[in-house]
Structure formats: C-alpha cells, structure tokens
Amino acid sequence: MDADRANAVDIERLIRGRLARLQGAMRRHGVEACLLFNEPNIRYATGASAMPVWSNTTFVRCALVPAEGVPILFEHPNSMHLFGELEADVRPMHAWEFTDDVGSHAATFARQTVAAMRELGVSDDRLAIDRLGTPGFLAFQATGISILDSAMVTMEAREIKTAEEIEVLRIGGELVMGMLSGLEDAVRPGVTERDLLAVLAATLLAGGGEHLATNTVCSGPNTNPWRAEATARALERGDLVYVDTDAVCLGGYFFCVSRTFLCGDSAPTRAQRDAYRASHDWLGAMKDLVRPGVTCRELAERGPRLADRYLPQRYECMIHGIGLEEESPSVAYPGDPQPNPDRVLEEDMVLVVEVYAGEVGRRDGVKLGDQIVVSENGPTTLAPYPYYAALL
C-alpha cells in the first residue's frame, strides 16, 4: 500500500483481524488446515503479496493456514526477503512447474506440506484448498490427503469487513474518484479508448494502486452490447463513453465502479437519455433497499424493474460482494437462478450494485455502478462520483 496513505491504517491490526476471521470460519466448518494459492486468499490470511498477477497464473507461492496459530507462507525463494517482518513462518516454496520432472517436484511439495501440517498440530488427513493444478492434485492423492474446497471457509470469512478493511476501502475510494475525474477530463473527440484507459491506469498507479483487472473503457458502438474492452477506436462527438474501473487498488482491494459520459458538446439523443435515466433511477432505487437483515431473495423480489427493452442484455447480476476480489453474496435478476437466496445481508458487508441498459441492435449502452458499505443507516457509497448531468 502507498506509504503516505498507509499511515492512516493500522496494518498489523488489519492483518490480524482478517486472520482471526478466517480461522474462526475454519473452526465453524471443522477445517483444521487450508492451503491457499489464490492471491487474494494468501493476502487475506498473511498480508503478503508478491507478483500478484503472475503468481495467480502459476503455482509459485501459497499459504498453509491452521485453524489455530501462525500460518506458514511458502514463498517464491527470490521474494522471501520481502517478508522478514511478517507475522508468519516464511519458507521457500518448492514449485513443480516449468521443470522436466513435474511429477517428482509436485510430490516433494506435497510431502513438505503434509510434514508442515503435522508441525502445526493438524491431525486431520483433510486439507481445504482453493485452487490446485493437476500435478499437485495427483501428488496429494498419493499422500493419502483428502482435498476439500476451501471456498466455504474463505468466502464466509471475507463477507464481513473489519474496521481496518473499511478504512482501506474508504481511502481507496478517494483514489477511484481521481481516476474517474481524470478520465472524464480526457474525454473529447479524437481521443482513443486506449488513451482513456492509459489515463485511468496512470492515475491508479501514481496513487499507490496496483493494476486494472479489466480494460473496460468503451465508446460509441462499442458500448452495446456490454462486455467489450478498450480498442484503438477514436471518440466522436456525441458518443457515449463508459468505464468500469475494475481496479485492484490500495492494499489489493478491488473497486468496481461504473460511470457513463457524453463526448463533446452535442445534445444527447433521446435513446441515450432514456438508457441513462433508466440506469440512474434503477441504481438509486436498488441501493435504497440495501439494509442489514434483508435476504438476497427479498432484494431480488423487491428490487426495481428494469424496462423490458433492456432486459435481454441485462448485466449478469444486480448486486455482488467485493473485497480483495469479487466475492459473495450476489443477487440475480428475478427469473434468473438465485445463487444466494437465503443469505442475509449484514452490517459491514461491501457490495457493488450495478446495471447495464442497452437495447438489442441499438448503437448505445449505459453502464452505471456503485460500491457501497452496508450499514443500519443506509448504504455508504465509497466512491460517490457525480452522475452525468447532461444525460439526465
């Protein structure tokens, strides 16, 4: 995390609080040990991050977390010096990839992990793992270890944010506001989508953020349908331009905030205004329903209805959890399968409420979304960037 901004947060308390939540969830589920390869899970459990994008595509570092006691961080040997002050047992990771004898190296890692489990007092022959390549899976099978999915533990732990996490997110929201402001200032005819993406990324990196998870800056015909990414297309007067920040921000916390702008000084078309108004009003009404005690099913049932002409290309969900990555719970549109119908919202959950409005076969689409903290007094928006008045 950026040093100046980090001074506002007790980092040690942040790390201890997350580990306590994780270990509490492990005990509730009867899990004695987790082996975590997913970068956000490693970071949540230990506070350690190294080469996050690359390490999430490989198996070069992981954390072995007991239900009681100090985790073991198996770290890339060349990165171990980064974590000398970490409250964890840091050991070199015996990786199996990129070798001529993958099987034997994976077997070595599996044996070392089982030995470490016994050191930690784990008597169970079950190990909860978040992701594992085929060589590792086969190697653990050969040791007699039974593999469980750790998601039931990690997702439960991460749903409720600690006070320190919310403070990091609050500070991150200020950076996201700057990202959106810089992008809006750069919107003009002749600028390319990639130029705007570069503004977004530069502001993020200069402010102590880490990387963009997607490249969602789209203009004109690229705004419909949803799910395109930035191209070399130059903006034209009258284009809609939308951005979904999808930024891995301060301390690795994810921000998924969406805004739509108008390029140039022309008046918006009726279709553009209608799509923007529908999105804006839907978003406000949906946020107003978010309170502790409401279930995801109730949110789906009570939520505002998006106009029929926008439903065929609706966003895949109305609400989803967020933290160190996109998380649980989520709320789907009525009529779609509900992934978390009985989940009850609780105070200090952090959620993204987002909407896309674009008619099939039309030129323009609008994307809006806010990241909020659930509280008794109503949702707190972490990056309350203004909506675009000319489109309202």
For residue 4, pLDDT over 90 is answered with no
Q: pLDDT class for 3, splitting at 50, 70, 90? A: very low
Residues 239 and 113 in one domain: no
Q: How far apart are CA 62 and CA 380, in angstroms?
A: 34
Q: Do 235 and 271 belong to one domain?
A: yes
Q: What is the largest CA-CA distance in the chain?
A: 70
Please list the residues that pair with 274 across neighbouring strands: none
Q: How many CB atoms lie within 10 A of CB 249?
A: 27
Distance CA 219, CA 152 (A): 39
Whether 136 and 149 share a structural domain: yes
86-95 pLDDT per residue, tens: 888 999 999 9
- Mean of the per-residue pLDDT values of the chain: 96
> pTM above the 0.85 mark?
yes
The span from the CA of 221 to the CA of 363, in Å, is: 5
**How many angstroms separate the Cα of 168 from the Cα of each of 208, 261, 328?**
12, 28, 19
The verdict on 134 and 171 lying in the same domain is no
pLDDT digits (tens, 9 = 90+) for 294-342: 999 999 999 999 999 999 999 999 999 999 999 999 999 999 999 999 9
| CATH code, domain with 279 | 3.90.230.10
As for how many domains the chain has, the answer is 2
The range of the structural domain enclosing residue 175 comes to 160-391
- Do 73 and 168 belong to one domain? no
Both 193 and 148 in a single domain? no
Q: Which residue has the tokens 């990202």?
A: 179
CB 222 within 8 A of CB 180: no
- Angle, helices 11-28 vs 39-46, to 10°: value is 110
Burial, 223: exposed, middle or buried (Cβ in 10 Å; 0-12, 13-18, 19+)? buried
Cβ proximity of 185 and 260 under 8 Å = no
Distance CA 35, CA 49 (A): 16
The verdict on 166 and 154 lying in the same domain is no
**Each residue of 36-92: pLDDT tens digit?**
999 999 999 999 999 999 999 999 999 999 999 999 999 999 999 999 888 889 999
Both 183 and 85 in one domain: the answer is no
Residues 200 and 52 in one domain: no
Chain position carrying tokens 């320190």? 164
